[in-house]
């Protein structure tokens, strides 16, 4: 089995970390790190990964996220091409909101869909965007506590970045209960899509490194 030594996986919580077959990922040379939840811990986790793996080229953030539109149901897999730091605002000194759009539009997961990802520093138990301007502009919106930090770190350091999250709840009054239920029931699915993503990233990097054959 080819070793994808340039790829690392970041898990925000112990639930995502426990869901992964880390032995199988280790066979591919993939480091899996538990960072803790939130933007600050995620950014520190990214820094730790670069220290652990000097040759690191790509970070994959995985885990669970809330769904903020009716088009996203529990169990859907989202790979956001655009992430917004939703709860940060330093106007008039800085432009708001801070937004990062990932380069390229290719998704790693075979069942993934693109969805705008809003990142904030709290676990949402209500949807402040229902019927608002964001919902009118974007058919699919999800939310988490880490994506913007990881995307920003990778942009600043020149690393590749992928974000793969499974919708665990609808960010409503039952969100905490639904999140824990999803962690139990959707863990096998999370493991499958992460293994698939790492395999595809390894194959892509191999294709880039392979010399062209002469005619």
Condensed to tens digits (0 to 9), the pLDDT of residues 33-50 reads 999 999 999 999 999 999
What pLDDT does 165 receive?
Answer: 97
> Which among 146, 142, 158, 154 has a CA at the least distance from the CA of 80?
142
DSSP 8-class letter at 211:
P
Mean pLDDT across the stretch 187-210?
80
Mean pLDDT across the stretch 82-87?
92
CA 96 to each of CA 16, 90, 137, 142, 150: distance values in angstroms, whole numbers, following the listed order? 31, 7, 17, 19, 18
CA distance linking residue 86 with residue 98, whole number of Å: 8
- Higher pLDDT pick, 165 / 130: 165
DSSP 8-class letter at 102:
-
Residue 51's beta-bridge partner residues? Answer: none
Domain residue extents for the chain: 7-206
Q: Is the pLDDT of residue 190 over 60?
A: yes
Question: Do the Cβ atoms of 118 and 164 come closer than 8 Å?
Answer: no
Q: What is the pTM of this model?
A: 0.90
Mean pLDDT across the stretch 125-134?
88
70 backbone dihedrals φ, ψ, rounded to 5°: -65, -20
Residue 150 neighbours by CB under 8 Å, 6+ apart: 10, 42, 43, 46, 59, 61, 161, 163
Residue 73's beta-bridge partner residues? Answer: none
What pLDDT does 176 receive?
Answer: 95
CB atoms within 10 A of CB 157: 13
CB atoms within 10 A of CB 148: 28
Instruction: Give me 106's structure tokens.
Output: 């290719």
Would you place residue 68 in the very low, low, confident or very high pLDDT band (cuts 50, 70, 90)? Answer: very high
Superfamily for 7-206? Nucleoside phosphorylase domain (3.40.50.1580)
Question: Do the Cβ atoms of 181 and 80 come closer than 8 Å?
Answer: no
Q: Is the pLDDT of residue 209 over 80?
A: no
3-state helix, strand, coil in the chain (%, to 5): 35, 25, 40
Peptide bond just before 97 cis, omega within 30 deg? yes
What pLDDT does 164 receive?
Answer: 97
Would you place residue 128 in the very low, low, confident or very high pLDDT band (cuts 50, 70, 90)? Answer: confident
């Amino acid at each position: 089995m080819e070793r994808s030594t340039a790829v690392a996986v970041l898990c925000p919580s112990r639930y995502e970390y426990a869901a992964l077959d880390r032995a199988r990922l280790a066979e591919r040379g993939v480091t899996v790190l538990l960072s803790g939840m939130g933007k600050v811990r995620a950014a520190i986790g990214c820094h730790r990964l670069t220290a652990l793996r000097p040759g690191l080229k790509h970070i994959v953030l995985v885990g669970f996220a809330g769904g903020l539109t009716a088009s996203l149901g529990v169990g859907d897999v989202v790979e956001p091409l655009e992430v917004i730091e939703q709860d940060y605002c330093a106007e008039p000194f800085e432009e708001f909101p801070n937004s990062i759009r990932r380069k390229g539009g290719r998704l790693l997961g075979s069942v993934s869909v693109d969805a705008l990802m809003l990142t904030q520093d709290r676990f949402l138990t209500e949807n402040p965007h229902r019927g608002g301007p964001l919902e009118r502009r974007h058919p699919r919106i999800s939310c988490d506590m880490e994506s913007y930090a990881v995307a920003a770190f990778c942009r600043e350091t020149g690393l590749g970045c992928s974000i793969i999250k499974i919708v665990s709840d609808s960010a409503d009054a039952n969100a905490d209960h639904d999140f824990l239920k999803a962690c139990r029931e959707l863990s096998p699915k999370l493991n499958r899509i992460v293994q698939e993503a790492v395999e595809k990233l390894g194959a892509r990097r191999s294709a880039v490194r392979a010399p062209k054959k002469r005619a």
